[in-house]
Structure 1
Amino acid sequence: MTGVCAVSPASSLVAAAAAADHLVCPRVHYLLCGTFNTLFLYLLAFSPYSTSSNPNHPRGGVTLTVHRRIRAQGPHQFLALDQHRKTAYATTWALPPTLSSWHVVDQGRGGLKHVNTVPISATGSYLTVSPASLPFPPRVYQAGGPVAQAFSIDPTTGGYGDEIQEVIYLDGGKRELLDPRTDKTRVALRYGSHAVDIDPVRRRAYIPHVGHDTIYVYSFEQDGRLRLLAGIPTHGERGHEGPRHSVPSRSGNKLYVVTEHTSYLDVYNVHASKPYLYHSQRLSVIPAHQNATRHLYRGDTLRLSADNRRLYVTTRGKTPSQRGWVTTYALEADGSVKESPELHKGFGALSRFETQTSGGKANAIEVFPPDFWSEPPSSASSSEAAASASGNAEILVDGPRPGPDGRDYLVLTDDELGYVSILEWRDQWQQLREVATVQLGVDKPEEGDGHGEILEEETATGASHAVWLS
């Protein structure tokens, strides 16, 4: 199957590599990465075709470099992109609490330009942009600590528009939120709301709340505001689990949740009416031989594979003594996790990759987007798109989707030493392999202002979260 690339190969060497491995478009892909402890955002350049030597990769290696360094507005924890990847939205740990938006110039080649900054009530955590298939204009949703917000998007600039809603997770409501004694710093993220995850099929939003040990389930009003359906207690020991992030299955019939305090993957069946979520499976992110030290890990992020056949889940070590894990699970056609029968019940992952450090506050992952692969879509793609647009969850299934079969690139961030790594999955390997890495604050930018030098302000940079721009 021959792929089609919008950007011509730069050399005959690249063309030869593309012929040998034709599913990846033979060009440079750009990523945007934030940091936990500096004022900078970083543009990274990833090339699947390289002449450098890497014994773990069948083509001799890939490259990942620091393309540009951009002075931003504070340490940035998390990033989100609009549908066309032309605008990036960022949280920051700077005070007072704000969110910022950035125009992506020429898919990342030309850097970033600041669009606008808006105030929020408490330090932000994770953001998401609603998909265009929902029956209202795209919105930016953010949850962090005691609050969650919804913002319109300015149709002219692509930046933040008006705040259309604020949800408060405090018994005293607005009065308690305005009380100067209420914690609205980044510390509140450890026991507050943490993310907004959207299911476009069932037209729902899920907000895991670490401190409440609850997954809040919302539907959408006509203008995109959230309407609470229920608060579902997390599975396990009440007050002990700490649900942190969730990902809905492609059909909307399953919800995958990672717990921060216990490093479990919980799978919930999704219902159209009460009880909305019903727990069906629990699996360990850490291996069985680490079970006695489970309290020394912190569950983090999770993402579906491009072909919808696997789920990747991460955890971090609480101290540098414990290295983190990226665990791969095989998914059945109905979205449930297929356990390896030869392993202990609840530990049957497809594969586990031990990260080179604890991960610090990171070990966040993002999967190479399905539409970045050059494989043509299957004949099912048009009907699936129609099902998504109609919100009909019964039409879609959780089996393989159009895209690369048995292949993924993941970007993994490390806060401890500032590494950003590319991991690759291939079914014939049955494991993740690190195929490229760069170290922020050590590897010098190749272009832009201050290229070829490292600034004193970059010392001990910790990578937070990276997103694929192109």
Structure 2
Amino acid sequence: MDLEPPLQVPLQQVLNATASPVHHILAGSFRSLSLFLLAFSPAQLTLDLVQTIPAFGPHQYIGLGPSTKGVDVRHAYTTSWALPPQLQSWAIEQQPDGLRVRFVDSVDITATSSYITVPPPYSHIYSAGGPSAQSEWDAADKTRKALRYGSHGVEFAFPTGSSALAFIPVLGGSMIEVYKRAEDGSLIHVDSSPAPQRAGGVPEEEDGPRHVKVHPNGRVLYCVTEHSNYLDVYTITPPSGSSPVLTYVASRSLIPPHLRTDGVANATDGVKRTYRGDTLLLAPSTPAQPAPQSIFVTTRGGEGETTHGWVSVFRLDAEGMFAGDIEANPYLVERYEAKTSGGKAHALDLRAKSEEDPDGALWVILTDDSPPHPGVRVLEWDGWLWRGGGTRLREVTAWPRPGFYESDTAKEGEPEQMAGASHAVWLD
């Protein structure tokens, strides 16, 4: 396999064309084997392909290592649906002609994984997916099929005066499993937290917790549920032997009020659901906004292409709780209707437009795996204090452009084309 294909568009050409800095995006695909390096120009609002990097399987979820000032090489780590199951590492290097990505190595793992993270102190990487956190490990399905009912993520909290804690949501069990990180980096199970019982809603065993995130203060955990389409908030208490680690606090629906009807938006119907809660991400901390003011959450449309996915933005207070009752105050929530269902995608990544912006304005990556034009979309978020007209969250550019998919496969000798984006991250 040729791991050094030619550039699609020389980065210097992109820089010259825009006459302004660009921000790079590394993207994976559910139906392509390659990774894709893109360049986004904030001045021109364009998104261009820079490099196609042959990889080892579809569904590349990307975890980034730390960015060190003055160091020209950063590392990324990816999962895939390929067999046998593996994790791969990649070097992101600043070359004379621009940023390049090259394969470094891989490691075999025991089950197909769907998520990867690199928490401080950056000595280990952690990956979860499928049968992760399940008690019947030996008999569990370890292929990608297990992702339908298994684990989809692992996140860490660093409570004051306590060992680091890891949280793994188990979709089929409607449970969040809690682990303590030992000195050698291994995880020790300490608690199990069931999904909250919904008042007048679905039973907790049908909730389907899919992804979690932890507030920088280490005291608040957020969980998005796939089946019931909620964003749940919990407080974190270090393990004591008697009190639960997670205590449920509040929920907000991922579905706009005008689409909520009993038995549709927040209920289950076997494998056919109108919406499927997906992923979530806190706004990045900046000098102007050290505590995140916003949390972004996505849901995908269900079967077919007639139901569009949504991005919801909820405002947070200084402690990481919901800032108020969104049903009574629309200025505490923003909704964006996607152009498609999102397919299997609708992953997010966020980048501050300016480190000094008091409004918390962001560039947002939203991945799309749904026809007719799947790929990577860039949205612009103006922040809560923005006083202009129209929506605060909107799409400004996307790649590939219309017409790219006229041929499903690349011509002989050409690099592979993307066939629907799975996950993408900002590199700078």
TM class, shorter-length:
0.7 to 0.9
Q: Does the CA-based 8 Å contact 2:15-2:22 persist in structure 1?
A: no
Within the alignment, does 1:122 sit opposite 2:107 as a pair?
A: no
Q: Who is 2:365 aligned against?
A: 411
Q: In the aligned structure 2, how far is the partner of 1:326 from the partner of 1:451?
A: 32
Q: Does the CA-based 8 Å contact 1:198-1:204 persist in structure 2?
A: yes
Q: 1:213 to 1:28 in 2, by over 3 A?
A: same
**Deviation at residue 200 of structure 1 after TM alignment:** 3.3
Greater shift in the superposed pair: 69-78 or 31-40: 69-78
Q: Does the CA-based 8 Å contact 2:154-2:166 persist in structure 1?
A: yes
Q: Who is 1:195 aligned against?
A: 153
3-state SS of 1:411 partner: strand
**Deviation at residue 441 of structure 1 after TM alignment:** 9.7
| Structure showing greater relative contact order (alpha-carbon pairs closer than 8 Å, 6 or more residues apart) | 1
Within the alignment, does 1:432 sit opposite 2:393 as a pair?
A: yes
3-state SS of 1:33 partner: strand
Q: In the aligned structure 2, how far is the partner of 1:442 from the partner of 1:111?
A: 26
Quick one: which amino acid aligns to residue 231 of structure 1? S
Paired residues, what number?
373
Q: Does the CA-based 8 Å contact 1:420-1:440 persist in structure 2?
A: no
**Deviation at residue 442 of structure 1 after TM alignment:** 5.4
Q: In the aligned structure 2, how far is the partner of 1:195 from the partner of 1:419?
A: 22
5+ residue gaps in structure 2? 1-11, 68-72, 198-202, 266-272
Quick one: which amino acid aligns to residue 230 of structure 1? D
**Deviation at residue 443 of structure 1 after TM alignment:** 4.6
Q: Does the CA-based 8 Å contact 1:409-1:424 persist in structure 2?
A: yes
Q: Does the CA-based 8 Å contact 1:339-1:349 persist in structure 2?
A: yes
Q: Who is 1:422 aligned against?
A: 378
Quick one: which amino acid aligns to residue 61 of structure 2? F
Q: Aligned match of 1:291 in 260, 264, 276? A: 260
Quick one: which amino acid aligns to residue 142 of structure 1? S
Q: Deviations over 1:92-134 (max 9, x none)?
A: 11111111111112189342211111111111110000123xx
Q: In the aligned structure 2, how far is the partner of 1:296 from the partner of 1:349?
A: 25
* Structure having the larger proportion of residues in helix: 1
Q: Deviations over 1:196-249 (max 9, x none)?
A: 111234521111111111111122101111121201001132220110111111
Q: Does the CA-based 8 Å contact 1:30-1:109 persist in structure 2?
A: no
Q: Who is 1:316 aligned against?
A: 300
Q: Who is 1:28 aligned against?
A: 22
**Deviation at residue 258 of structure 1 after TM alignment:** 0.2
Q: In the aligned structure 2, how far is the partner of 1:355 from the partner of 1:464?
A: 15
Q: Who is 1:49 aligned against?
A: 43
**Deviation at residue 338 of structure 1 after TM alignment:** 2.1
Q: In the aligned structure 2, how far is the partner of 1:238 from the partner of 1:106?
A: 49
* Identical aligned residues as a percent: 40
TM-score, scaled to structure 1: 0.73
Q: In the aligned structure 2, how far is the partner of 1:10 from the partner of 1:191?
A: 45
Q: Who is 2:7 aligned against?
A: none
Q: In the aligned structure 2, how far is the partner of 1:367 from the partner of 1:119?
A: 30
Within the alignment, does 1:332 sit opposite 2:326 as a pair?
A: no
Q: In the aligned structure 1, how far is the partner of 2:377 from the partner of 2:358?
A: 21
**Deviation at residue 335 of structure 1 after TM alignment:** 1.1
Q: Who is 2:178 aligned against?
A: 217
3-state SS of 1:188 partner: helix
Quick one: which amino acid aligns to residue 186 of structure 2? R
3-state SS of 2:183 partner: coil
3-state SS of 2:319 partner: coil
Quick one: which amino acid aligns to residue 169 of structure 1? Q
TM-score, scaled to structure 2: 0.80
Q: Who is 1:74 aligned against?
A: 57
Q: In the aligned structure 2, how far is the partner of 1:267 from the partner of 1:406?
A: 22
Within the alignment, does 1:252 sit opposite 2:218 as a pair?
A: yes
Q: Who is 1:300 aligned against?
A: 278
Greater shift in the superposed pair: 277-286 or 428-437: 428-437
Quick one: which amino acid aligns to residue 458 of structure 1? Q
Q: Who is 2:192 aligned against?
A: 231
Q: 1:277 to 1:416 in 2, by over 3 A?
A: same
RMSD: 2.9
Q: In the aligned structure 2, how far is the partner of 1:342 from the partner of 1:291?
A: 12
**Deviation at residue 170 of structure 1 after TM alignment:** 3.1
Q: In the aligned structure 1, how far is the partner of 2:253 from the partner of 2:104?
A: 42
Q: In the aligned structure 1, how far is the partner of 2:378 from the partner of 2:278?
A: 18
3-state SS of 1:239 partner: helix
5+ residue gaps in structure 1? 1-6, 15-25, 51-61, 148-167, 177-181, 376-402, 445-449
